[in-house]
Amino acid sequence: MSDKPLIDALVATLKAAPAVTAIAGQRIHAAAPRMPTYPCVVVTRSEGRPVEGDTVEHLLTLTCASRFGGPEEARALVAAVRAALHDAKPALTGRRLVTLRTPYADVFAGADRETTLGIVRVRAVTEPL
């Protein structure tokens, strides 16, 4: 089972969330852009595994990146992403969403000391229509 329909639905949900777009605009990406503009949100990791029959557990990591000059913007973006996705019900192509949770988030300085990174972990469970 590909994670692409779920990733597309999450990106669309975030692009429609006023709190997220107030910070990141439409810079919400399913894959890392070659030349990112900050702040932005990128799906940086996804994994899907069967749990029972055709039910699939998806584990995704969304990275929020900021070059604001401190952690404030990254913290606000992480909070907005988390609020927009936790218990959201985006429509999926070919699957039914059972649950969508954001069980973990963190903000930390990037290795380049210019970028502040935030991560939001997403756990979703889907099943066939």
Count other C-beta atoms under 10 Å from residue 27's C-beta: 18
Q: Residues 6-60: pLDDT tens digits?
A: 999 999 999 999 999 999 999 999 999 999 999 999 999 999 999 988 999 999 9
**What string of DSSP letters covers 51-81?**
EETTEEEEEEEEEEEE-SSSSHHHHHHHHHH
Question: In 53-79, which positions are buried (b, 16+ CB within 10 angstroms) versus exposed (e)?
Answer: eeebbbebebbbbbbbeebebbbbbbb
Task: Give the C-alpha separation, 125 to 4, whole Å.
Answer: 14
Architecture of domain 4-128: 2-Layer Sandwich (3.30)
52-109 pLDDT tens trace: 889 999 999 999 999 999 999 999 999 999 999 999 999 998 899 999 999 999 999 9
Instruction: Give the span between the Cα atoms of 47 and 56, in whole angstroms.
Output: 10
Q: What is the pTM of this model?
A: 0.94
